[in-house]
Amino acid sequence: EAQVTQNPRYLITVTGKKLTVTCSQNMNHEYMSWYRQDPGLGLRQIYYSMNVEVTDKGDVPEGYKVSRKEKRNFPLILESPSPNQTSLYFCASRSRIAGTQYFGPGTRLLVL
Amino acid sequence: DAKTTQPPSMDCAEGRAANLPCNHSTISGNEYVYWYRQIHSQGPQYIIHGLKNNETNEMASLIITEDRKSSTLILPHATLRDTAVYYCIVRSGGGSEKLVFGKGTKLTVNP
């Protein structure tokens, strides 16, 4: 089944404790993105990647890192999480040719 | 990428057509109009997209005005399961992957 998976789905952590949210897709898509969603603000793009080793900032990249060492994986790294990074996070992917994005199920993060 | 404007909320009776408008007055010639929806806090789901011509698939129809400055998503026979937030976004057909989601329209389908 074609899908985007994220892990973990729920995470509670404390300020400053490094964490990684994994994202994996099995559709051989070139493009992958991370979004965060907050009440009243909609979906905002954090980072995106157009291929292996190619990443760029979205609208709200501060406090986040990404890497794209393999085509199927695009982890989101929070080196020193803060409470303002409490949010719902989505990973998405699409092929280079088609514009349709496929979204993962989401990761709900709470930073205390 | 062009920004979009959508009404914050709409209501529709079950079984009736739901018509969701979107303004994208600054859209450029190579930008596509995409519609997604998000049910509760699930991952957004693709519905339909178009460039100039009207489009129809098993989920919905998309009507784009001739000047391309606005579009309407039509759900022909809305059901309770269509209650969701609907997002209209425009995206360049070129290489840019920087996408801007607006706040969307919260559609409530009433029994």
Q: Chain A contact for B8, CB < 8 A? A: no
Contact assessment for residue A101 and residue B45, using Cβ atoms and an 8 Å cutoff: no
What is residue B31's predicted lDDT score, i.e. its pLDDT? 87
d(CA B108, CA A61): 33
What CA–CA distances, in Å, run from A82 to A10, A46, A62, A67, B52?
16, 16, 11, 20, 44
Predicted pLDDT at A92: 95
Query: In percent, how much of chain A has pLDDT > 90?
Result: 87
Residue of A48, A102, A108 lying closest to B98 (CB–CB): A48
Per the CB < 8 Å rule, is A100 touching B49? yes
Q: How confident is the model over A55-98, as pLDDT tens digits?
A: 999 989 999 999 999 999 999 999 999 999 999 999 999 988 87
Residue of A nearest to B31 (CA): A99
> Could you say which of B93, B97, B100 has the minimum Cβ distance to residue A50?
B97
**pLDDT reported for residue B83:** 97
- The mean pLDDT of B3-8, rounded to a whole number, is 92
Contact A56 B98 (CB under 8 A): yes
